[in-house]
Amino acid sequence: MHRAFVTGWSDILILYELILVDSTDPIYNPIWRQGCYGIPFISRLGVLCSLYNWSLGIEFNLKPSWTYETVFLAHLSLSGFLIVSSLWHWAYWDLEVFVGYGTTNLVLDLNQLFGIHLSLASILCNGFGFAHISGYLGPGLWTSDSLGIVGSIRFLKPFYSFLGLDPFCYGVISSNHIVAGFMGTYISLWHISSRPGPLVYKLLSMGNVEEVLCSSIASVFFTTFINASLMWYGSVSSGVELYGPSRYHWDNGYFSLEVERRVTLNSSFFLRHFIEVH
pLDDT, residue 236, reads 82
pLDDT, residue 267, reads 75
Those residues of the chain that have pLDDT short of 50 are: none
pLDDT, residue 162, reads 74
Q: 255 Cβ partners below 8 Å, 6+ apart?
A: 147, 245, 249
pLDDT, residue 195, reads 78
pLDDT, residue 24, reads 85
CA-atom Rg of the chain in angstroms: 24
β-pairing, 152-154 vs 141-143, is: antiparallel
pTM attached to this predicted model: 0.82
